[in-house]
Amino acid sequence: MKINHEWHRDFFKNSFYNPASPASVAKAPEEVRFLLKHLKLKKGAKLLDLCCGPGRHAVEFAKKGLSVTGYDFSGEYLQEAARRAKKKKTALRLIRGDMRRLKFKDEFDAAVNLFTSFGYFQKFPDDLKVLKGVARGLKPGGRFMLDTMNGEFVRKNFHPRSWAKMPDGSYRLDETIFKKDGVLVAWTFLKAGKKPAGRLFFVRLYSKKTITAAMKKAGLTPLKFWGGFSGKPLTDKTNRLIALAVKNKLH
Ligand SMILES: C[S@@+](CC[C@H](N)C(=O)[O-])C[C@H]1O[C@@H](n2cnc3c(N)ncnc32)[C@H](O)[C@@H]1O
C-alpha cells in the first residue's frame, strides 16, 4: 500500500467520511462536559478547537458561553459547522487552514484536538509543528486536551483485516499494516448497488511516554491522562488516550 503524504486533502469529504454521524453528535455534549471540567474555563474564555470538523464539539462549547475558534482544513466540514452553529443559535469563528501552519500567538485560554485528529503526518517533525503551534497559540498557563487512539492498545489488538457494519446496513472493510511508528489503514466502503469507495490514511501511534516527550519538546507539560471520556484511567486496555497538558509559563 502506498499513501499520498497529503492524504487528508481528499479523505475528509462528506461523500467519503462524515465524523458527525448521529451517534458521534449525540456523544459530544457529554464529552464537552468532561473537557470543561478539566480545562477549568470561565465564561467568555477563548478556546481553539483544532481540527473542529463539522463542529459538533465547537457548538457545545459555544453554548456554554465560550468564545470558540474552530480551525480545520476541510471547507466542507467548516460549512457544516457554520450551519450547525446557526441552528443552535451560537456563534463560531471558523478558520480554514493546515494544522501545521497555526499563526496564533498567546491568544487562547485553552485548546482541544479531538477524535483522533492528530498523528496524520508521516514525518514526526510535522506532528511537532502542530504541537508547537498549539503551544504558541495558548496564553502562558493555558491548557490543551488531546484525544487520540491509544497506541499501546492498537499494537496489542492488531487485526490486519476486519469488517465494520455501518448504521445504514452497508459494510466497511478495514485493512491495516504497521509502518514505522504508525498504522497505514485502507478503508473500503461497500454498499449494494454502488461502486466500492476506498481511501488510505496514516496515524502515528502515541503512547503515554511518546506523547509526553513530544509535548515537552513543544513547550507543553502533561498534567494528567485518561483512557476515555468516562474518566477511566489510561491502561493498555483502553482504546483512547486523552492527555491534558499546560503551556509552560516561560515558553
Ligand atoms: C476525525 S476528524 C475529527 C473532527 C472533529 N474533531 C470531530 O470530533 O468531529 C479529523 C479532522 O481533522 C481535519 N484535518 C485533517 N488534516 C488536517 C490538516 N492538515 N489541517 C487541519 N485540519 C485537518 C479534518 O478535516 C477533520 O475535520
Q: Kindly list the domain boundaries of the chain, sorted by start residue.
A: 8-150+205-247, 154-201
Question: Is the CA virtual torsion 41, 69, 97, 199 positive or negative?
Answer: positive
72, 102, 185, 201: which to mutate for ligand 1, most atoms within 8 A of CB?
A: 72
Is residue 67 packed enough to be buried (19+ CB in 10 Å), middle (13-18) or exposed (0-12)?
middle
Residue 20 host element (H or E) = none
Query: Quick check: 86 pLDDT over 70?
Result: yes
What residues contact 62, with CB distance under 8 A and at least 6 apart?
68, 85, 88, 90, 91, 92
Look up the pTM and report it: 0.97
Q: What is the mean pLDDT of residues 80-86?
A: 98
Ligand 1 atom 23 nearest Cα: 73
Backbone angles phi, psi at 156, to 5 degrees: -80, -20
Give 251's pLDDT tier (boundaries 50, 70, 90).
low
Ligand 1 atom 19 nearest Cα: 98
Closest atom, ligand 1, to C-alpha of 99 = 20
Q: What is the mean pLDDT of residues 163-181?
A: 92
What residue ranges line ligand 1, CB within 6 angstroms? 8, 12, 19-20, 51-53, 56-57, 72-74, 77, 98-99, 114-117, 120
Share of the chain above pLDDT 90, in %: 92
Confidence (pLDDT) at 250: 67
* 177: Cα separation from own chain's centroid: 21
How many Å lie between the centroid of ligand 1 and the Cα of residue 112? 12
Between CA 216 and CA 245 the distance in angstroms is 9
Confidence (pLDDT) at 2: 78
Q: Which fold has domain 8-150+205-247?
A: Rossmann fold (3.40.50)
Q: What is the pLDDT of residues 105-125, one digit of tens each?
A: 999 999 999 999 999 999 999
117, 127, 200: which to mutate for ligand 1, most atoms within 8 A of CB?
A: 117
Confidence (pLDDT) at 3: 87
Q: What is the pLDDT of residues 204-238, one digit of tens each?
A: 999 999 999 999 999 999 999 999 999 999 999 99
Q: What is the mean pLDDT of residues 120-134?
A: 97
Between CA 49 and CA 51 the distance in angstroms is 6
Q: What does the CA dihedral 211, 216, 222, 225 come to, rounded to 10 degrees? A: 10
